[in-house]
Structure 1
Amino acid sequence: MTQAITVEESRELDDKTINKIGIPSLVLMERAGLKIYENMLDNKDLDLSNVLILAGTGNNGGDGLVVARLLATHGYQVSILTVGNPDHASEDHLAQARICNYYQIPKVFMNADFNKFTTLVDALFGSGLSRNVGGDFATVIDKANASTAKIHAIDIPSGLNGDTGEVMGTAIKATSTSTVAYPKVGMLKDQAKPYTGKIYVDDIGIYRGNAFENE
């Protein structure tokens, strides 16, 4: 049986890994981005000839920006659409955005034609979404689902409740999902399957209980 964790457990493990064990959050973001990039290369259902990263302004979006840079530096055509208030961006997201600016990765806006892209990367929300999706986020999710592009989700398809697997207003219907450390319990519910697609579980060095545990 697949080991899964709740959203609260995921938060606690992140906090412990960063603040107690001392692995910097930016290091974990780099590890996650590399694993997600590798998952996308592995998934033959995805055509990576023209990729659009849909990035929120939190750390999930930061993971997406790492993927954007890795694609760009390995010769893939990639663009970024940032959704959300930039004034509320996390520090790690801002750090990754500066790196993407250095590499001059193209940016697009809400009016972009999603059908011209072959793969969309859903990096809008992490697993901690606590209310129904609205505004620009709902618009982008619905536009992504209506497009001809396949979608690869980061951690959990945006709009899916990490504990119940229920759709919170609207949710990304992904071809595949890279979930970080452990699947979230909601992702393994029957009602979540049409949204998660193929699930990759990415070990980035966050562990729940093992022989090296030191409380």
Structure 2
Amino acid sequence: MRRIPDSDRLPHALYRAEQVRRLDRLAIERFGVSGIELMERAGAVAYRLLRVRWPNARRLTVLAGMGNNGGDGYVVARLARAAGLDTRVLQLGKADQVRGEAALSLAAYRDAGGVIEDYLGLPRKTDLYVDALFGTGLVRPVTGPWAEAITALNAQRAPVLALDLPSGLHADTGCVLGVAVRASVTVSFIGLKLGLFVGAGAEYRGEVHFSALEVPAQVYAGEILAAVRIDWARESRLLTPRSRIAHKGDCGHVLVVGGAPGMSGAARLAGEAALRAGAGLVTIATHPRHADWLNLDRPELMVAAVERPEDLDTLIERADVVAIGPGLGRGDWGRRLWERVRGLSHPLVVDADALNLLAESPGAGPDWILTPHPGEAARLLGSATAEIQSDRLAGARQIQARFGGVVVLKGAGTIVHGPAPRVPAVCSDGNPGMATAGAGDVLTGVIAALRAQGLETEAAARAGVCLHAAAGDLAARAGERGLIATDIIAALRTLSNGLAKVDR
């Protein structure tokens, strides 16, 4: 079996649906690649992938829609039938109303002896389904028999190969348009779709493969990316080997400000994560109630009791980066410390309750990294969490425009959005096990440590997000359920020294 073109190494460029349509038109109009040829290539790539991925599959069912995605499905069906697979095509919408290249593909399937059936429900037995219902042009909720077919597809147990994008998933935002196919594998063509990596994309896409369909490289030259996909395999190159004569002062001093009564653990997690991510020195400025014992089992952490805002002054003078928010609280103690820190010229990492206090009294900062989860992001923008999640990239962009600096919008497909003209980044590492108390505090410490070691603001945010996510993936090898924040910390040292690779 031939190797799948371009599929074992995903590109980092991410595109919106409109951009991919432009790339498609440019390949046709300027470089003479016909639309039907692109369809043939897409179907052939998908067919080769399914034979590699499911070599024992003998019964194939293709769900075909009315557009070019359905046309791709007809190519898959024709090739599978020619190879002797028991192949059925279930058409949603009237076959005689299919137009353009899809109609040519449908006719070729019929000419080869294939039979087209109207969709009346899924077959009782099949080894594999091909989702060829909708392409990237879907923008309204799925209804009627299409919704019924997708619901039935999700309820059965056979694997599903989605062509280009799981049907029902918005190509740009990753939102589910009423109902969407839960694919086992998605093979994306020409340009990798942004929606596969943001919103609910991670929940529905399954394993992702890609083929450029031999489109000439010149086609891509004039298109500004919608976003760039980042992962630790790429970002780890920013962590160069240390000098043989380095000392702790060369590796940066992080000051963590937080830990109101009852919330000391958050500050402790951020501080220990900063140490494990390579900071030479870490001081935790915390409430006097627990300052004496906060570092009993981690003596490498320095701890200072802070009662009044002015108690911070000497600590700030010694620090290279200040991380504020973990366990800070919104009481009088936390508010006064936030007001002391927010106007500093130091690089800042702002998280948790510091973000909530910022939302109450907005202002812009030139050299800070804001790390909201969706709820905090909604408070920063005065909107609802659901609105943020409906278009995460737009939410990150709005926060950055309003508050400046670099924004890290946490969640599945964490987004890093810096000032223009830099392209926003979407992290493709990470797993659901990281949905656990304290994981965000660990991220704060990691980003602060990398910033303290000399990475510029956006680079520290990108590398920190990916290191944190990859550490979560390494920890998840023992299982996602029950993973805790300290498991992530334990993996940081191994990954940041290149001593392990995570392949998920």
Question: What TM-score, normalized by structure 1, do the two folds share?
Answer: 0.91
Q: CA RMSD in A?
A: 2.0
Distance 1:155 1:4, change over 3 A: same
Mean alpha-carbon deviation: is it higher for 150-159 or for 93-102? Answer: 93-102
Task: Report whether the alignment pairs 1:144 with 2:153.
Answer: yes
Which residue of structure 2 aligns with residue 29 of structure 1? 39
**CA distance in structure 1 between the partners assigned to 2:118 and 2:221 by the alignment:** 47
Helix, strand or coil: the match of 1:108?
Answer: strand
Q: Which amino acid aligns with 2:157?
A: T
Shift of 1:135: 1.1
Residue 65 of structure 1, aligned match among 74, 83, 105: 74
Distance, in Å, in 2 between the alignment partners of 1:135 and 1:211 is 37
1:91 Cα deviation from its structure 2 partner = 1.9
1:38 equivalent in structure 2 = 48
User: Which residue is equivalent to 2:63?
Assistant: 54
Q: 1:162 to 1:208 in 2, by over 3 A?
A: farther
1:1-150 equivalences under 5 Å are: 2-44=12-54, 48-150=57-159
Q: What's the % identity of the aligned pairs?
A: 32
Q: Which residue of 2 aligns with 1:181?
A: 190
Once residues 113 and 130 of structure 1 are traced to their aligned partners in structure 2, the CA distance between those partners, rounded to angstroms, is 25
Q: Is the radius of gyration larger for structure 1 or structure 2?
A: 2
Residue 81 of structure 2 aligns to a residue whose secondary structure is: helix
Residue 438 of structure 2 is matched in structure 1 by none
Which stretch of the first structure deviates more once superposed, 171-180 or 19-28? 19-28
Report the counterpart of residue 202 of structure 1 in structure 2: 211
Could you tell me which runs of 5 or more consecutive residues in structure 1 were left unpaired when the two chains were aligned: none
Closer/same/farther in 2, CA of residues 133 and 208 from structure 1, 3 Å limit: farther
The one-letter amino acid of 1:119's match is L
Structure 1 residues 208 and 189, CA gap change in structure 2 (3 angstroms): farther
Opposite residue 88 of structure 2, the aligned amino acid is S
1:146, CA displacement in angstroms? 0.9
Q: Secondary structure at the match of 1:71?
A: helix
Q: Amino acid of the residue matched to residue 196 of structure 1?
A: R
Q: Distance in 2 between matches of 1:201 and 1:132?
A: 26
What amino acid is aligned across from residue 13 of structure 1 in structure 2?
L
1:168 lines up with 2:180 in the alignment:
no
Letter in 2 for 1:6: R
Tell me, which stretches of 5 or more residues in structure 2 are unaligned? 1-10, 223-504
SS in 1 for 2:12: coil
Query: Which residue of the other structure, out of 200, 210, 216, is the alignment partner of 1:191?
Result: 200
Please tell me the residue identity of whatever aligns with 1:124. Answer: L
Name the structure 1 match of 2:479.
Answer: none
Letter matched to residue 19 of structure 1? E
Runs of 4+ residues deviating >3 angstroms: 85-88, 106-109, 112-115, 207-213
Q: Are residues 153 and 104 of structure 1, via their aligned partners in 2, closer, same or farther at CA, if it must alter by over 3 Å?
A: same
Check conservation: 2:61, 2:129, Cα contact below 8 A: yes
Deviations 1:107-138 (A, max 9, x none): 33333443411111000010111111111111
SS of alignment partner, residue 84 of structure 1: coil
Q: Distance in 1 between matches of 2:153 and 2:130?
A: 10
Give the match's secondary structure for 1:21: coil
Give the superposition deviation at 1:148. Answer: 2.0
Tell me if the contact between 2:135 and 2:164 (Cα under 8 Å) persists in the aligned partners: yes
**Cα distance change, pair 6–181 in 1 and its aligned pair in 2 (3 A):** same
Matched residues, number: 212
State how far apart, in whole Å, the 2-side matches of 1:49 and 1:6 are.
Answer: 35
Amino acid at match of 2:15: I
Please, what TM-score do these two structures have when normalized by structure 2?
Answer: 0.40
CA distance in 1, matches of 2:44, 2:192: 18
Range with greater deviation from structure 2 (187-196 or 71-80): 187-196
Partners of 2:61 and 2:126 within 8 A in 1:
yes
SS in structure 2 at match of 1:116: coil
Could you say what secondary structure the match of 2:187 adopts? strand
Q: Secondary structure at the match of 1:206?
A: coil
Q: Does the 8 Å contact 2:41/2:213 carry over to 1?
A: yes
In the alignment, is the contact (CA less than 8 A) between 1:133 and 1:159 conserved in 2?
yes
